[in-house]
Amino acid sequence: MNSIEQRLAELGFTLPESPTPRANYVPYRVVGNLLFIAGQIPTADGQDKFVGKVGHDLTVEDGQRAAQLCALNMLSQVRTALGGSFDRLISCVRLGGFVNCHPDFGQQPQVINGASDLIVHALGDAGRHTRFAVGAISLPRNVAVEIDGMFEVKPSLGL
């Protein structure tokens, strides 16, 4: 187990298998030394979790747990993109967070903190990132949160 997975284990988390896209897109793409991870939703074991609007159907704390699950799925995609290891990962550059909520809800940053805090805990200082957190009137399959990310990676010697 590497240090990222050890840090996650300290919080009681293990990385899941990378979720498979359900539409016509790729889950990640490497361009130069940047790794782009497609939007991740809170799924576990093939099932959507945290379905509904934060602030109405779900609490802010539920939203934070949904964001954590999105971040775990994102880190799983990073590991897969890098050949099953975090050895080439340098840092998290940016996270983008969408929160399924009513127009009068204003705690999107607190919800997305669930993902940001998990990434920083897992990566240490290399996890400090830029970010946006916005509300959305709906998200795919009515899930509470969707998060995408950009990571800096070392070039592959095979390219």
Domain CATH number, residue 122: 3.30.1330.40
Residue 96 is assigned to a structural domain of this protein? yes
Residues of the chain with pLDDT under 50: 159
| Structure confidence at residue 156 (pLDDT) | 79
CB atoms within 10 A of CB 31: 8
| Structure confidence at residue 157 (pLDDT) | 67
pLDDT 10s digits, 18-52: 988 888 999 999 999 999 999 999 999 999 999 99
Domain ranges, residue 53: 30-153
| Structure confidence at residue 70 (pLDDT) | 98
- Fill in the DSSP letter of residue 128: -
- Residue 10 phi/psi, 5-degree rounding, is -60, -30
N residues, the chain: 159
Burial tier of 38 (Cβ tally within 10 Å: 0-12, 13-18, 19+): middle
For the chain, what is the domain count? 1
